């Protein structure tokens, strides 16, 4: 198994495209800094998502969750 981050995250966005509205989701695993809050984590993950998918910069973030990546 590949090395994974300590947390699993999920984001959903709604944005406009040529056909109308589009819902996009992104998820992954990540290890936040020890002093990060959930708000800090959301902003940092969102920044990374937008860096990878610039067309989401104007989309509305409608859902965010981050949980420990263990069962």
SS3 of 35, please?
A: coil
- pTM of the shown model: 0.88
Which letter does DSSP use for residue 55 in this model?
G
Query: What size, in residues, is the chain?
Result: 71
* Pair 64, 11: CB distance under 8 Å: yes
pLDDT band at 1 (very low <50, low <70, confident <90, very high): low
pLDDT digits (tens, 9 = 90+) for 50-70: 999 999 999 999 999 999 999
Q: What is the pLDDT of residue 42?
A: 98
Q: Tell me what the mean pLDDT of segment 37-59 comes to.
A: 96
pLDDT digits (tens, 9 = 90+) for 3-30: 999 999 999 999 998 889 999 999 999 9
């Amino acid at each position: 198994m590949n090395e994974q981050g300590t947390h699993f995250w999920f984001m959903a966005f709604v944005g406009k495209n040529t056909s109308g509205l589009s819902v996009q989701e992104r998820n992954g695993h990540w290890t936040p800094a020890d002093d990060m809050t959930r708000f800090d984590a959301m902003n940092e993950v969102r920044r990374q998502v937008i860096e990878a998918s610039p067309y989401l910069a104007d989309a509305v973030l409608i859902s965010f969750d981050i949980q420990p990546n263990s069962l």
